[in-house]
Amino acid sequence: MAAQTKRATIYFDPDLHKALRLKSVETNQSLSELVNEAVREALAEDVEDLAAFEERAQEPAIRYDQMVMRLRRDGLI
């Protein structure tokens, strides 16, 4: 384990825990490594989403009803 780790208690659904244990054996990684990797990936996706929101912050907003009518006009719904 890394030198600067923090301990936490996480409660898993029994089936999810079983799947993680099996993956742990298959990949030769600890449960902690698997969970840390999954959390890092989720946070990285959040960073990408936030960057996309920031890029589009200056775009004009469109009302929902206008968007639905545009989709209908374009034959998409």
Res. 2: pLDDT tops 90: no
Q: Name the amino acid, one letter, at 36.
A: N
Domain ranges of the chain: 14-73
pTM of the model: 0.65
Q: Name the amino acid, one letter, at 35.
A: V
- Copy the structure tokens of residue 62: 């469109």
Q: pLDDT per residue over 8-59, tens digit each?
A: 999 999 999 999 999 999 999 999 999 999 999 999 999 999 999 898 888 8
- Copy the structure tokens of residue 35: 């969970």
